[in-house]
Each structure stands twice: as structure tokens, then as C-alpha cells.
Structure 1
Amino acid sequence: MQTLQQLQSGQLHGSKSIKLSCGLSEFPSEIFELADTLEILDLSGNKLSSLPADFGRLKNLKIAFFSDNLFTTYPTVLPHCPNLEMVGFKANQIVNIPAEALSPHLRWLILTNNKIESIPASIGLCTRLQKCMLAGNRLKELPIEMAHCKNIELLRISANRFEALPSWLLSLPKLSWLAIAGNPFCQESQREDHLAEIAWEDLEIKEQLGEGASGNISQAVWQKQPPLEVAVKIFKGEVTSDGLPSDEMKATIAAGTHPNLVQILGKINHHPELKQGLVLRLIPSHYTNLAGPPSYESCTRDNYTEGTSFTVNALVNIAAGMASVCTHLHARGLMHGDFYAHNILIDHEAHALLGDFGAGVLYDISSEVAPALERLEVRAYGCLLEDLLNHITSTDVDLPIVKNFTQLKNECMQAEVMNRPGFDEISKRIQAMVPISN
């Protein structure tokens, strides 16, 4: 992070990226001196409520973040930046989005946790839009014109006021990661859980293992007989980009038990701050993330460490395990919503564990939309197969089973949603393929 003093003194001349968080109430005019080079501007965590009329002078700007500020209206000057593709206004107080404010160049739009009641029909002109984050607003509907946004792959509309799921969403050809929990139409899908309760005083908290948007995970010892090392996740109360932490907790519990899921041991009671939490089996340290999350450049696709390669055996283990766990989840009426390689852990034998139900949603498996919801997630599974196949070892690339997996990947990612196979069929097809690799 840079300082205002550095900017004003000219020390940042020629910078491609600027991040300032220092209580700004006005846009620093010195930023325009970087117009020839500036590509990423992050003014999150300030007190800004407007942008200057000549903001378009930043002709090379690609990414602009204004999260945690005081904007009440989405600025109409943003489309004046011809190369601006990614815009973030998370956690402001935005109520109004003028029709002319949405640039057709947008690929990634973040409006999480505002007070937005409607999206203008002009969003239908944003045909390059791939990622749209609208969780935690006051939306009751989306404009039908948004159906023209055929490139949308990730959509977050959790924690809004939708009485029904927009029907056209289910036919978007590339939609793969959808978060819809925390809306009125989801209420009927809530279910009682019968998870064991574990008293907070019976847990000895050790070091923190990680912190995410929805909560903190710590290593702990469950003081039972015999004592057991566990992981404890304590949920925060804030709206995340995926939705409400309480919905994540419900989805995690509803996922149940499966060899490719982290085992839940119980839910916490008697927390001193009355927070919700779960106790999970501690994942062995030799498990690592299959991939890293998407970058600004990749937008919706995961990133793999340079040199990553997978053998056919690893491909089969990961693909079969994930098809099996997705079959299990959707049989229980649960869509993961964020089925990504970065939410999958693997060990040295390519045994895979799926985690992070932050975007999970319970649905009625007898409903008309159930088959389409499953097949949206099938496309996400197809993206995983594509990633694995793109990193197959050179010695295995011409094996017949690789060609069979490529065909399966193509079917999972086809544009006609209902022509994709379901997860049960995918699992059976993989089981039939496996002898071919011997």
C-alpha cells in the first residue's frame, strides 16, 4: 500500500498500480498524473462518495476498487475509461445505478453488500460480463435484458429479496457458479439438522489455521476421551461475496458424510460471544490445494502453479471422487455453488476433499428447476476436467482414457444446459472408463 505523501511528492510516477487507504474524502487529483501508466486503482477503505467528472482521463485503467467507502450512487463517469473491465464497490451504501453508468466493457462487477433495489436494463449491453457479485442487496428481480449476458459464468445473488429464481438464469450457456441462498424463495428448503452439540468449554483452541470472508478456522483439541485434535470454524456475521455465513453453516451440515468431504463432528454451543461454529475433523497437513483462485486476468478460472502436471491415475482419482461427491450432494438437494479446484484439497495419492460451502444452497429435488441447477454445476465440473486435462503429463496425453475424458468434458460444458449429463451418469461413465487405463 502506498501513501498520499508518496503520491503528492511524485514518488509514484510511472506506477501501474496504486492502493491508498487513508481516510480520503476527495479524489486525489495527483492520480491523473499517472494517466499514461495506471492500470489498477484501489481506493478501498476511504470516505469517498463521488468521482471527478474527468475520471475518464485514466485511459489505461483496467481495474478500479472503491469498496468500504460512502458512495450512494454508482458513478456515471466510469464508462469514460475505455479499458475499464473490473469494478468493485463492495460495502458502500449504493441505492441507485443510473442506466448510463454500466460500461459494456465490464467483465467483472462487484456490488456486494449495498442497498441496491434494482439493476438497470442497460446491463444487457454488458455482453462481456463474466463475473457479477450482487449478494447482500435488496433485489427482488433481475432485468430480463440480463439474459443477453451470455458470457456470465459466476453470479452471486444471495441474501437479497427474490421471491422466485429468474427462469432465464437456468438457460445461460456458461453459468457455472451460482449463489442464491438467503432469499425468500429458499426458505422452504431449510431443513432441521441433528448434528451433535459440542460445548465451547470442551475445546482447547490452539493456533489459527486460516481466515476467510465467512469466518476463522483454528486448530483445537476436543477434550473428550481420548482427546482429539480437530479444526474449529467460528462464523462471522457479515455478508460475504457468497452470501450469509449462516447459510454456509446450514449447507455444510446438510452435506452430510462422504469420503470426499471433510467430516463434521458437531456444532458449537455455549460460545461466550454467542457465535455459531462447527467442529470438523482436522485435515492432515499433507493435503494441499489443487489450485489457486482466479486472478484478475483469468477472471473466472483457477490458476495452477507453473509446472503442475497430473498423471492419468491422478486424473481418474480426482475426477471420480468429485463426481461421486457431487452426486451425493445433489441427491440431498444441495448445490455447492463454488465448485472450484481452489476449494479442493488433494494428497500425494490424489485423494480429493471438497470444502467451502459458502455459496451452497439447499433446494427441493422434486422441483422443476432441480435438474437445471444440477447441470449448472456440471459445467463447473467440466471446467475442472478441462483444467486437469490441460495439465496432463506428456507421456499420458495420447492414452485412450484421456480422449474419453475430453469427450466427457465437452459434454459437461456444452451450451444447452439440459443436454449435459447429470452427476450420476458422469460417475457411471468414469467407472466404465477406468479399465481402459490398465
Structure 2
Amino acid sequence: MPARSYHVETLGCPKNQVDSEKLTGRLVADGLIEASEPTDADVVVVNTCAFIDEARQESIDTILALADVRREGSRLVVTGCMAERYGDELAAELPEVDAVVGFGQSLLGPGVIATGAAPPSLSVPVLLRPRVGTAGGELVAGVPDFDLLNLPRPAASAPWAYVKIAEGCDRACGFCAIPSFRGPQRSRTPESILAEVDQLGAQEIVLVAQDLASYGRDQGVGERGLVPLVGAVAERVARVRLLYLYPSDLTDGLIDAICASGVPYFDLSLQHVSRPLMRRMRRWGDGDRFRARIDDIRRREPEAALRSNFIVGYPGETEEDHDALLRFVTDVELDWCGFFSYSDEEGTYAAGLDGAVPAALVAERLAELRETQDAITEHRRADLIGEAVDVLVDAPGVGRSHREAPEIDGIITVPDHLPVGDIVRLTVTGAAGPDLDAD
């Protein structure tokens, strides 16, 4: 009997990509092989995102598109954040799906590999939150089969890899529903993280979590956990990069550790700069505090690259608030910025706030901010022409310096003959928008 095959489609953030790689490792351990196309797979898995409306719609569109092209007799499984948050609704509204599977649940189910068809019971969605117990003598659905956070994963297929160091979040930001379905923060042990780093065999490790700077706080160590972890990873690989840093936790010690790692790249989760609006967001900080910290980073390390994301149209955002954000973006000149329209999330504090901003006004503000940042990024990239940069070759003809995070920022076009995985010193010869040429 030929080996059964799988296809995994991943949507959303880098943390979801890590989850997919770990689920892939489990499928391989169960004897499945990767299909060349989703149309050839026996098991098609969609790892969904539920962060904002656009992400949820993309997840639904992807599920329906794969349902249309999958071959007869294959199994379509939906997992990830949408499955955990909206399991009942997905199962009721998407008859095309064979199973809706929450975090830590088997993608296959009993008898699937042997028979090639899912038992009827597997079409019943898991519970939105795992529960341990029994009902009528039967094991309650939703009890995890495995610990997704600590599953092993295959060796990296690229010269870089994400490593998730914690799951969940203990914060209560007004706009964010993630704690409701990812749960409170749970940090991995340093030993398990370092073992994964060694196993991946990548030149660059990108550490991710919902709240990276709080790593170890649930274990009673806080910054004393993240700073030595960064140092330990830096001893094993050529590059270590950190994503998603809450600004209040960006301490002097953490800044020093990032700079000492050789990748002075700071991804700061700022969200806005208006002090009154930040309070409505249930967030720390304001434009003055953020500006002072950014200036301090640049004094310590002039080559530092900085990125952030901002929410536009949060309930109560006034024209004055928007102008403050626009001034901040113009004055501070971050290397990279993302701007996202506010999404009303069920169950969050912000969902009950007054002061909704009209969609047309949100679109206008987004366009103004994006146009401003595009010009900033373009001139900051052009300023690098003639500079020497150390480039990690990600693929033939494509690389990155410390200034570019993989899959998020711009790229550097390099000579095709350079070996993938090498770090080479090149000179920037040209710039086009967010991208550079180097030789």
C-alpha cells in the first residue's frame, strides 16, 4: 500500500508557521509523506489565523478554495486559531470540512490512515477551550493529545528559522482577543529551546512569541530569562533576531543583549503614540517615551534597524490623535512600519467602546500614513548605497542583512553564484523602494 500524503497550508504570523512545521513533523512521524500539490494529498490541513477580520476572511477563502480542488476521498482538516476560537461555527457553516481540530489535537484521528476516510464522529468540532474529564463515560472532546509548543520539528529547509519560545499572553490589550484562545503565557525551558536551535541547523534564528520580552516571567525570572537566552542562542548560530517586543519591557540589559548578538534589529510593538488613545487601548507608553527609547537605541548602535506596527481607527481616535501619529512617523523615521485598520473583536474591551471611526476616514488615514512611511523607507534604503553589508544568502540571488527580517521586510538582490547559507560582505550598489542591490 503506498504511503499516504499530506499538504499543510499556513496562514497568519510566524508563530503559526512554527506550529505548522511541528504538525508536519508529527504527520511525517505518523508515516505520511509531503504531497507535491494539495490536489494530490490524502490529508489537506489549513492552519488558520483569527487575528483580525481580513485574516479570518483569508482563512475562509483558503479553506473553500482547497475544498474545491482536493481530490475525491481526501480529508480536509482545519486547525489553528480559527479552529480554537470558532470551532462550533466553522463545523456548522463549512460542510466541506471533514474535521475542525483545536490546538494539540490529532489531525488524523483513529482509523483514518487505515481506512482513508474519517469516522463520522470526527466531524464534531473540538471545544473552544480544552477540558479534562468525561461525559457519559466518553472522553470529553478537546483534551490535548500532545503539547504543540514542545513538539520536535524537522531541520530547517532555509538558512533561517523561526523558534517559538513561549505560547499565550498575560496582557489585556483592549483590541486583542489572542489571550482568549491562546491562553496565558507559558514559556518553554531554555534547554528545550536550545535543543531545537541545534536541531534546526540554521544560520539565523528568529525568536518569536506573543509577548517575547515577557519570556520566563511565568517561571519567575522575567528579563533574567530572555537576556541569557539571547546570549546562549547567539553562541550557537551566526545570527539571532527578536520579533514582537513590548516597549515597556525593552530594558537596558535587553538592548545591550540585542546589540551584542550582532543583529541590532528592534521590532517594537508600539500600536499608537497618543497618550489618551493608548490608555483606551490599555497599553503602556506614548510618543515621547517611545521617541526617547528609540533615540537611546540609535545612540548605542547607529546601525540599528527599527520596525513597528500601528493600529489606525481605534474607537475614539481623533484627528488630533492621527496627526500625532503622523508626526511621530515623520520625525522618528523608522526603517519599517506596518499600519492596520482596527478590527472589532468579539469579547475584547474595545468591542464595547464608543467613538467608532468611519471606514472611509480610516482608509484615508491609512493611505496617508503608508505614503509617508513608504517615502521614509525609500530614502533610508537609498542612503545605504555605497555601504558594506554582511548578507545572509537565503536563496540563489536573494539575501538579507541585519536590517531585514525574513518574509517581512525588503530583500537584497545578490549575485546568483553565491552559495545559499553563506554570509558574505558585499557593497550596496542600488535601491528600489524597500529592496537593495549588492555586489
| TM-score (ref. length: structure 1) | 0.33
Q: TM-score, normalised by structure 2?
A: 0.33
Name the structure with the higher helix share: 2
